[in-house]
Every structure is written in structure tokens, then in C-alpha cells.
Amino acid sequence: PQLINQIAAGEVVERPASVIKELLENSLDAGARQIEIDVEQGGKRLLRVRDDGTGIPRDELALALSRHATSKIASLEELEQVASLGFRGEALPSIASVSRLSLSSRALDADTGWTVEADGSERIEAPRPAAHPVGTSVEVRELFFNTPARRKFLRTDTTEYKHIEDVVRRLAMSRFSVGLTLRHNRKQVFRLPPAGTQEEAARRLARLCGAPFVDHSLYVSQQTGELRLSGWVGLPTFSRSQADLQYFFVNGRMVRDKLITHAVRQAYQDVLYHGRHPAYVLYFELDPALVDVNVHPAKSEVRFRDSRAIHGFIFQALHQALAGVRP
């Protein structure tokens, strides 16, 4: 089973940033309102995610580190319309099989916290009591210490850190209601309080994408039936130094999708600016049954049931919104 975990880790855990992604998704699934992320040496030495979610009861701590012990799917039908971000029950065991992992948690109704540790082997000792507020901390040290070939494949600390920052930035853009802090080598990079109003959201976005983008963008909010598109599109006055300010979220999940990119670009170029690539941070919401987000474990692709209709809606919605600001 440990070999299977390590092979699965090859799918799920490509680099420190993928560990952070999985841990953050777990924190969100647990209803966290505040998440603290600590990274050392590009994540090679330490990755720590601490949340104030519902926590894990003592008896379930070891289980959380064993394969396919997800608590999130009860039936196959549920798998069809899964709303939670993670549901494969593979992430923690995979990460634990290629690192020194400690999982500490205190459940909502428990009067103390507990810790379990894994060191890349299958053996998981009994939980020990530990001081911990309600919520969960996962600490991952020495990623790939027991798979030297994989460890060697990692890039420089700076590059690995950049990937982590990207993951955190995307999360911060997709969950405005969740407070986030990110520290690298004990230095604070982001401290983002929960953003409730649109103004607070814009302030957070300015921290993440730069103030010029927010100042030179149009806020879009369009709805047709159950399809809803909202967010910010950069205006022609926004001259971008950042190469790639293009973020699109489908039901809260960042995706890169040719169909979507095409619809957005076509609307933008049609109305505003021929021959230029738009900058945008857009949110698309639709019935989860109309979209398949489980294409790949890395989960950045989507398949729409009716891609023509989706393309049409996104194009129309943006076209309409932008028409009001045609220069």
C-alpha cells in the first residue's frame, strides 16, 4: 500500500505547490474562515497550513492518513454532483508517503487537540494529545526525502515558492470570505482579511493583482437564468506589465479552458480592442450538474455539458457589459 501511495503521490503531488493546493482545499472543505500558510525554502523544507475549520476527531486522525478514507463522498450519485473541492481521499496519504507529515487537530466539540505523525512509512502511531485550537494544522517537512529522484526534479526555492504563491493567489481570489496569511521564510507576504463587500474584494484584488488593474478595469455582473458571470475586466487604459493576468473561475475553481479563453477574448476584441489580449478576473457560476470538473486529479480543466451554450453566454454577457464603455 505504501508503494501505491507513493505512485498516487506522483499524480497528486508534483511539487510543494501541489501539496499546498490539496491542504488548502481540505481547509476550505472543513469550513475554515481563516487560514495561515507557512513556507520555508520554497516549501522543500516546510509547508504548514493551519485552519480554524471543524477539525478532525481523535479517532479519525489516523484514518485521514489512510488511502481512500475520504469523509466527503457517501455514494456514487454524490460523486456526480460533488460540491466539495476534494473527494478522492488520496491527498493526505499520498503526501504522507513522501514526506514527514504531522497532522494536528481539535474537533469542534473536543476539549483537547491531538496529533498524529507519519514519516513516509506505513506505520502511524497512536494520536498524542496536543495543544491546538479548534481546527487543523498540517505540517509537511522534507518533501520527497524518501524519493530522491523526485526531490532532484524540484526547481530552485524561488521557482517552487512562485508556484506556491500562484496557488495562494488563486485561492485568495476565489474565496473572498476567507482570511489568508502567507509567510515565506518567516516573512509575511500576504495578510488578507476576509472581504465581505465588493469594495473589500476590490481591495484584496489590488493586493493580489496590483492597484492599476483594479483602477483600470470594469466590474461586470451579468446573469441569464442560472448562468452568472461577474468580475473585473481590464480596460484599454490598463497597460499591463504582468504577462498573464487572466483568471477565470468556474464555481469557485480556477480553470484554464480554450473555449472560455476564446469567448472572453472574442468579446473583448470585438467591442474594445482589436489585437490585444484582455486582462481579467472573472467568476462564472452555473449548476454543478452542467459541468464536469473531475477531468484530471490536478483539476484545472473543465468539460461543459453544452459548451456551445456556455461559449455563447460568456461572449454575450461580456459583449453587453463592455459595450457600455466602448471608447
Instruction: Choose, by CB under 5 A, the member of 16, 55, 86, 231 that binds Mg ion.
Output: 86
* Binder of residue 30, out of ligand ADP, Mg ion, none (CB less than 5 to 8 A by kind): ligand ADP
For residue 273 the three cell numbers come to 480592442
Report whether 17 contacts 95 (CB < 8 A): no
| Under rule CB under 6 A, residue 204 binds ligand ADP | no
Phi, psi of 135 (to 5 degrees): 130, -165
| Under rule CB under 5 A, residue 26 binds Mg ion | yes
8-state DSSP, 41: G
| Under rule CB under 6 A, residue 216 binds ligand ADP | no
| Under rule CB under 6 A, residue 5 binds ligand ADP | no
Q: Minimum Å distance from CB 237 to ligand ADP?
A: 42
| Under rule CB under 6 A, residue 86 binds ligand ADP | yes
- Which residues lie below 8 Å from residue 83, measured CB to CB, with a gap of 6+? 288
The torsion angle over the Cα atoms of residues 125, 130, 135 and 138, rounded to 10 degrees, is -50
CA torsion sign, 203 to 208 to 212 to 214? Answer: negative
| Under rule CB under 6 A, residue 88 binds ligand ADP | yes
Instruction: Choose, by CB under 6 A, the member of 91, 209, 214, 229 that binds ligand ADP.
Output: 91
- Our CB check for ligand ADP shows the closer of 35 and 267 to be 35
Beginning with the edge strand found earlier in the chain, give each strand of the sheet holding 246-250 in spatial order: 217-224, 227-234, 280-285, 246-250, 253-254
Q: Minimum Å distance from CB 37 to ligand ADP?
A: 12
Rounded Cα distance, 235 and 243, in Å:
16
Rounded Cα distance, 86 and 319, in Å:
34
- The closest of 139, 144, 145, 146 to 115, measured between CA atoms, is 139
Residue that the C-alpha cell 463587500 belongs to:
197
Q: Minimum Å distance from CB 35 to Mg ion?
A: 14
Residue 34's SS3 state is strand
Task: List binders of Mg ion among 46-65 (CB under 5 A).
Answer: none
| Under rule CB under 5 A, residue 171 binds Mg ion | no
* Binder of residue 52, out of ligand ADP, Mg ion, none (CB less than 5 to 8 A by kind): none
- Our CB check for ligand ADP shows the closer of 22 and 157 to be 22
Rounded Cα distance, 291 and 302, in Å:
7
Rounded Cα distance, 9 and 219, in Å:
40
Task: List binders of ligand ADP among 61-80 (CB under 6 A).
Answer: 64, 70-72
Residue 164's SS3 state is helix
* Binder of residue 27, out of Mg ion, ligand ADP, none (CB less than 5 to 8 A by kind): ligand ADP
Largest alpha-carbon pair distance within the chain? Answer: 66
Binding mask 288-327 for ligand ADP (x = CB under 6 A): ----------------------------------------
- Our CB check for Mg ion shows the closer of 70 and 147 to be 70
- Our CB check for ligand ADP shows the closer of 181 and 320 to be 181
Contacting residues toward ligand ADP, per CB under 6 A: 22, 26-27, 30, 51, 53-56, 64, 70-72, 86-92, 136
- Binding footprint of Mg ion on the chain (CB under 5 A): 26, 86, 91
